[in-house]
Amino acid sequence: MGSRLASSPVARLLGHRLFYTAAPDLTGQAVLYGSGVSRAWAPVFVTRFMSTSAAAQVQAGEPASEESARCSGEKKEDKDVFSYWGVGSQKVTKEDGTEWKWSCFRPWDTYSSDLSIDLAKHHVPVTWMDKLARWTVKSLRWPTDIFFQRRYGCRAMMLETVAAVPGMVGGLLLHLRSLRHFEHSGGWIRALLEEAENERMHLMTFMEVSQPRWYERALVMTVQGVFFNAYFLGYLFSPKFAHRVVGYLEEEAIHSYTEFLKEIDNGNIDNVPAPAIAIDYWRLLPDARLRDVVMVVRADEAHHRDVNHYASDIHVQGLKLKEQPAPVGYH
């Protein structure tokens, strides 16, 4: 009975999801090819090429980490699927003719973070709704502090699994509303989905510096199940409240990343080389370190803070989001 259960597809899937741990790789050397990325994508592209640590490993005859290989398409190249439908793999090349190897993001998705953003901005809670939103976030912070304490790498990775949910839920609900009401969204669907994708890239980055343990993977599944449904209902009931909660969540994220930086500066966390995926996504210098990554991620969180408080303010003023153009591409 036990062996039958262990060999069942469900058990194999759960075993893989819960117990698989890929070895982190931080040894890859970045290769700088230049800069000057434009959002208006041209076939010829000048940017920093994939500085993948996975590539370095493959060359050295070592197995690449699962995410790096999946992202870079290292394994897929060998067995490209023939398509009757004419779809095929999109080949993206740079100016020097070499291939862009990340498949999970493309050169036009990369950007240089605006580090000059004011990190200290804070929405002072005035209404009872603001106070409830802030209390909700503060009460969520308490168990998080106890669970992770000063393990900021792991904490960041786990929190990004939650942070990537609201944008997707908000974008989905606005999308459905647009269909139901035969109306434009003012760009807010795209802006919120951009936020979700940006948060997911934070997760892809921190996965490279910290690997979750089996019980942390189990926790993520549980929290995602609860948080997705709670936020979905919350957004249906009051998008004004939902965006305010996310605004305060982002304020807390800024604080957490500031603490993360302090730990790096104190020497309590090794300032290891930046993961290759981060170097390419944020157009960092090839010798960038973990500290540089945390700086750009913190700046992203500050941008999310602004967007979500702004969205809530629009509702507070009795307007709909579609009546105010969305800050698409706000980094």
Nearest approach, Cβ of residue 294 and Fe ion (Å):
11
Choose between 155 and 304: whose C-beta lies nearer to Fe ion. Answer: 304
Pick from 123, 134, 304, 309: which binds Fe ion (CB under 5 A)?
Answer: 304
Cα separation, 101 vs 119, whole angstroms = 34
Cβ neighbors of 2 (< 8 A, separation 6 or more) are none
Nearest approach, Cβ of residue 17 and Fe ion (Å):
22
Cα separation, 247 vs 224, whole angstroms = 19
Distances (CA, A) of 130 to 163, 214, 245, 318: 19, 36, 8, 16
Pick from 200, 202, 240, 243: which binds Fe ion (CB under 5 A)?
Answer: 202
Cβ neighbors of 262 (< 8 A, separation 6 or more) are none
Residues 29-58 that bind Fe ion (CB under 5 A): none
Cβ neighbors of 265 (< 8 A, separation 6 or more) are 291
| String of contacts with Fe ion for each residue 138-177, x by CB under 5 A | ----------------------x--x--------------
Pick from 74, 194, 301, 306: which binds Fe ion (CB under 5 A)?
Answer: 301
Nearest approach, Cβ of residue 203 and Fe ion (Å):
8
Q: Which stretch binds Fe ion (CB under 5 A): 76-84, 119-127, 178-186, 192-200?
A: 192-200
CA 148 to chain centre: 20
Q: Which of 243, 256, 226, 248 is nearest to 147 (CA)?
A: 256
| String of contacts with Fe ion for each residue 248-287, x by CB under 5 A | --x-------------------------------------
Nearest approach, Cβ of residue 163 and Fe ion (Å):
4
3-state secondary structure 206-237: HCCCCCCCHHHHHHHHHHHHHHHHHHHHHHHH
**Site for Fe ion contains 243 (CB under 5 A):** no
Interface positions with Fe ion (CB under 5 A): 160, 163, 199, 202, 250, 301, 304
